Amino acid sequence: MGSVLGLIGALTSWLAFDVSFGSAVLLYFATALSFGLLPVISAALRGNDDSRALAPTPAQ
């Protein structure tokens, strides 16, 4: 998904807004990388609550 959006953004900026080719390529890579890291950052911020979910409950 990020690579498609990066490609669209890079081509648009290069062709329509007269941005240099190198800057358009950097925009492509930055967009693709940020969308690729978004799930990783989201999971890291959520933390690991699996240990509490799998903990045994006390018997009554």
| Confidence at residue 48, expressed as pLDDT on a 0 to 100 scale | 65
| CA–CA separation, 36 and 49 (whole Å) | 23
Within a domain: residue 60?
no
Within a domain: residue 7?
no
Q: Which of the pair, 11 or 47, is modelled with greater confidence?
A: 11
Q: Which of the pair, 60 or 31, is modelled with greater confidence?
A: 31
Does residue 10 register a pLDDT over 60?
Answer: yes
| CA–CA separation, 30 and 9 (whole Å) | 11
- Domain count across the chain: 1
- Confidence grade of residue 21 (pLDDT, cut at 50, 70, 90): very high
Closest residue by Cα to residue 14 from 5, 3, 4, 25:
25
Within a domain: residue 46?
yes
| Confidence at residue 49, expressed as pLDDT on a 0 to 100 scale | 60
Task: State which residues form the domain around 40.
Answer: 20-54
Q: C-alpha angle 17/20/26, rounded to 5°?
A: 105
Within a domain: residue 13?
no
Within a domain: residue 10?
no
| Confidence at residue 20, expressed as pLDDT on a 0 to 100 scale | 93
Q: What is the mean pLDDT of residues 6-25?
A: 90
Within a domain: residue 9?
no
